[in-house]
Structure 1
Amino acid sequence: MTNTIVVTDRLTKRYGERLAVSDVSLTVRSGEVYGFLGPNGAGKTTTLRMLLGLVRPTSGSATVLGHGPGEPGAVARTGALIEGPGFYPYLSGRDNLRVMARYQRVPDRAVESALQRVDLAERGDDAFKSYSLGMKQRLGVASALLGEPDLLVLDEPTNGLDPGGMADMRRLIVDLAGQGQTVMLSSHLLSEVQEICDRVGVIAGGRLLAESTVADLRGGSTLLVRADPVDQALAVAMRVAGDDAVQLLDDGLSLELGEDWAPELARALVGAGVDIREIRPSERSLEDVFFEMTGDAAGPGVGAAAPVEEER
């Protein structure tokens, strides 16, 4: 049975009259990359802060690595980057990490390893205040890696990175999970979550709407058919797939069939004298699923990358 690293039960946080997080029950398993997906303001950061013991929940409960949030047993085995890194501006990146390493009683050699892993070793002696937003973000991830924690909690880890930096960060996260570490990350970038996460929790308006694997959320593939005449193609498709498995679209037909059915469907269409323009498998993206689930609740803050500050 897979070990659970994080478990919450109806976790709720209210600020006065505003309900920031409502009855969130989720489970993060050992060795996986768990994506906490939702628009800006959905309650992602508040939930992560409760898991780290930085915010006390109004109601509900949580356990992290078998301990209560913020307890020494959980803190010692957790690395985190929440709401952007905070460092001494006039110290170098390397010295900032050394301060943190000594506070955590981690040897200095861990600092060099962390800088290498986030590709900051060559800029480690530069003052933190001279770093771009993306470099500051990478240094924050480096600080979370100190001490080889069992659990990494990363809030928007690719924020401020250019496309190359984003790709590097995704590879790093996947590598960490491959080495047995568990990563829980929040993001509003659906393509990012779809690419690297094993399971996701979808949150909007403070409520957890779904928790599943990315594949299960997206569902199985369908066949997209564009053919003429459409009415004749529709009749053939319904005969092959069944009446309820065919949907008429603006630009063709959608059949709830796997791509293995394409040859049989093509033969049936040609045999009926239908001119085939296209047959191809089609899969729903995580973005499609998200907007189906949330409707207008998602707002403009989901799916598009945040403005990028040029890497230096």
Structure 2
Amino acid sequence: MNVVEIDGVSQRYGRATVLHGLNLNLAPGEVLGLFGHNGAGKTTAMKLVLGLLRASAGQVRVFGRAPSDPHVRRWLGYLPENVTFYPQLSGVETLRHFARLKGAPMHQVDSLLEDVGLTAAATRRVKTYSKGMRQRLGLAQALLGEPRLLLLDEPTVGLDPFATQDLYRLLDRLRAAGTSIILCSHVLPGVEAHINRAAILTQGRLLALGSLAQLRAEAGLPTLIRGSGLQRVEVLQQRWSAAGHVTRPWGAEGLQVAACNGSKVELLRQLLAEDSPSDVEILAPSLEDLYRHYMNSHQITAQEAAL
């Protein structure tokens, strides 16, 4: 049984439709990334799963039940984009307060503060916390009660690069332990290694859904091969350009070629046979590349439809 089933869901606010027939699911122990510009419908989808909104059309099921089911809510953890706490409470007092509300064991408080790197600041008032520290406290709050489903709305907002990596390592551990996670973000670099599938939304519609390997195959974007320290740059460039491959210089003695349509292995073989590079980089399309591709394709389709 899937942890989350979103079946043909539309959501309307008055005359405005913010989700259009969304179909989405989440498997046990899976991390699903929701990506899109502001207003794409990511937060609305999360609120439907949380039971904070009722779908205008279609059905949402969480653990096979309605999101409003009290049993379901005990299995959820949620970090909102703009997390706020009582400023006069300390970090540890805040977590104890939420532990009581959730019915979570008090012994989890200290361990969660350690997990998110706030042990040293546990007794400080929250009003003295930076944005990143409040975000980490929010994550600790979401993890109280060991939720089976974790929903994170822009979890890296306010985090420095080190704290961001700590967050992703924590999510990796949770995934390995069987926690299902929906991660909503518009910050793409760094996240792709920590998700199983990506869902790209725009204007309330699902543009693409799949693993990065599936999206790369569907998009047909080239893999970049970069050779450095080459002796025969001009020979390779002429040969590849004549064969229809897009090339460009790479550094003082290097060359980049775009490998399309399954040509990566053959181009790499030619590079190593024709020259002796000091270094070779192979760059598959990133999540950011895929996101840009699907967004641009959607924009072109919309423009053509308007003609």
* TM-score past 0.5 threshold: yes
After the TM superposition, which residues 1-312 of structure 1 pair with which residues of structure 2 at under 5 Å, given as runs? 3-219=1-217, 222=223, 224=225, 227-229=233-235, 230-235=237-242, 238=243, 246-249=244-247, 253-256=257-260, 257=262, 259-262=264-267, 264-266=269-271, 281-295=282-296
Q: CA deviation at 1:297?
A: 7.2
Q: CA deviation at 1:205?
A: 1.3
SS at match of 1:228: helix
For the structure 1 residues 267 and 116, does the alpha-carbon distance in structure 2 shift closer, same or farther, using more than 3 Å as the test?
closer
For the structure 1 residues 253 and 128, does the alpha-carbon distance in structure 2 shift closer, same or farther, using more than 3 Å as the test?
closer
SS at match of 1:25: strand
Rounded Cα–Cα distance in structure 1 between residues aligned with 2:18 and 2:212? 25
Rounded Cα–Cα distance in structure 1 between residues aligned with 2:117 and 2:11? 37
Counterpart of 1:309? none
SS at match of 2:246: strand
Rounded Cα–Cα distance in structure 2 between residues aligned with 1:250 and 1:60? 50
- Structure 1: 5+ residue stretches without partners: 239-245, 299-312
* Contact map agreement 1:13 1:59 (CA 8 A) in 2: yes
Rounded Cα–Cα distance in structure 2 between residues aligned with 1:267 and 1:176? 42
Letter of the structure 1 residue corresponding to residue 4 of structure 2: V
Structure 1-normalised TM-score?
A: 0.82
* Contact map agreement 1:187 1:193 (CA 8 A) in 2: no
For the structure 1 residues 277 and 231, does the alpha-carbon distance in structure 2 shift closer, same or farther, using more than 3 Å as the test?
farther
For the structure 1 residues 269 and 56, does the alpha-carbon distance in structure 2 shift closer, same or farther, using more than 3 Å as the test?
same
Identify the range of structure 1 (211-220 vs 44-53) with the bigger mean alpha-carbon deviation: 211-220
Rounded Cα–Cα distance in structure 1 between residues aligned with 2:15 and 2:292? 27
Rounded Cα–Cα distance in structure 2 between residues aligned with 1:267 and 1:148? 51
- Structure 2: 5+ residue stretches without partners: 228-232, 250-255, 300-307
SS at match of 2:245: strand
SS at match of 1:191: coil
For the structure 1 residues 94 and 225, does the alpha-carbon distance in structure 2 shift closer, same or farther, using more than 3 Å as the test?
closer
Rounded Cα–Cα distance in structure 2 between residues aligned with 1:225 and 1:8? 42
For the structure 1 residues 218 and 35, does the alpha-carbon distance in structure 2 shift closer, same or farther, using more than 3 Å as the test?
same
SS at match of 2:209: strand
For the structure 1 residues 74 and 254, does the alpha-carbon distance in structure 2 shift closer, same or farther, using more than 3 Å as the test?
same
Q: CA deviation at 1:146?
A: 0.6
Calculate percent identity across the aligned residue pairs. 36
Structure 2-normalised TM-score?
A: 0.83
Rounded Cα–Cα distance in structure 2 between residues aligned with 1:267 and 1:145? 50
Letter of the structure 1 residue corresponding to residue 36 of structure 2: G
* Contact map agreement 2:4 2:62 (CA 8 A) in 1: yes
Rounded Cα–Cα distance in structure 1 between residues aligned with 2:173 and 2:239? 51
* Contact map agreement 1:191 1:286 (CA 8 A) in 2: yes
Number of matched pairs:
283
Deviations 1:171-190 (A, max 9, x none): 11111101111111101111
SS at match of 2:3: strand
Rounded Cα–Cα distance in structure 2 between residues aligned with 1:94 and 1:225? 50
Structure number with higher relative contact order (C-alpha < 8 Å, ≥ 6 residues apart): 1
